[in-house]
């Protein structure tokens, strides 16, 4: 898997994904049209999508278009976008570039936040099931203190652990 958390995501199906402040949303149990309309209602511009056999993926601008030129970068409200029977696995690649915070991950299932974590402290989950990803993170060696050797690739290893645990398709970018 190529590392796509800290750089331009490239192209999906010939469309630009985004240079920065782009969220990556894997989804199932909800149609592309419904998710797209929900994001547009919240003023978040979808960028690109790809359809998979099980999970599909959509990328969108993190800030709403009506606050892109202000300090108010309110993110999408995914709980409102996750109807019963749906799942959303959301990678927020730059939650706060100004403060240099690491990426975050949020997993929504059946109308609510199931689990969420910061890549800076992946073992400290929050949500309805905060320890949901703990087995995958422990197996990947991401729950204890990181050695200097592990620090350089912990974001990619976190993505790989989450991807494997949830059965998400690989997101290969050029």
pTM of the full structure: 0.83
**17 occurs within a structural domain:** yes
**Cβ 135 vs Cβ 164: under 8 Å:** no
**171 occurs within a structural domain:** no
Residue-level pLDDT at 12: 42
**90 occurs within a structural domain:** yes
Binned average pLDDT, 10 residues per bin, the chain of 174 residues: 44 44 92 95 89 91 66 77 97 66 90 94 93 94 73 82 93 56
**98 occurs within a structural domain:** yes
- Write the secondary structure of 18-32 as one string of H (helix), E (strand) and C (coil): CCCCEEEEEEECCCH
**1 occurs within a structural domain:** no
Cα three-residue angle 102-104-108, rounded to 5 degrees: 180
Q: Provide the token pair at 92.
A: 């927020």
Residue-level pLDDT at 25: 95
**Cβ 40 vs Cβ 60: under 8 Å:** no
Q: Which residues contact 106 (CB under 8 A, 6 or more apart)?
A: 78, 88, 89, 90, 92, 113, 115, 116, 127
Residue-level pLDDT at 139: 92
**4 occurs within a structural domain:** no
Model confidence over 106-148: pLDDT tens digits?
A: 999 999 999 999 988 888 999 999 999 999 999 988 887 766 6
Question: For residue 10, with 0-12 CB atoms within 10 Å meaning exposed, 13-18 middle and 19 or more buried, which class applies?
Answer: middle
Say how many domains are in the chain.
1
**160 occurs within a structural domain:** yes
Q: How far apart are CA 27 and CA 88, in angstroms?
A: 5
Residue-level pLDDT at 48: 85
**3 occurs within a structural domain:** no
Structural domain boundaries enclosing 145: 11-166
Q: How far apart are CA 97 and CA 95, in angstroms?
A: 6
Residue-level pLDDT at 8: 43
């Amino acid at each position: 898997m190529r590392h796509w958390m800290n750089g331009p995501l490239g192209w999906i199906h010939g469309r630009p994904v985004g240079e920065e402040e782009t969220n990556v949303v894997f989804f199932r149990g909800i149609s592309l049209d419904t998710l797209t309309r929900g994001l547009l209602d919240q003023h978040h511009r979808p960028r690109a999508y790809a359809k998979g056999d099980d999970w599909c993926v959509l990328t969108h601008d993190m800030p709403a278009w009506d606050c892109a030129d202000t300090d108010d970068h309110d993110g999408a409200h995914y709980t409102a976008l996750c109807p019963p029977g749906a799942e959303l696995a959301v990678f927020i690649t730059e939650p706060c570039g100004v403060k240099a915070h690491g990426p975050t991950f949020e997993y929504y299932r059946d109308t609510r936040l199931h689990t969420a974590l910061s890549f800076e402290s992946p073992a400290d989950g929050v949500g309805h099931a905060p320890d949901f990803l703990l087995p995958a993170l422990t197996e990947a060696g991401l729950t204890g203190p990181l050695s200097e050797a592990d620090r350089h690739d912990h974001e990619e290893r976190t993505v790989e652990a989450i991807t494997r645990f949830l059965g998400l398709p690989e997101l290969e970018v050029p």
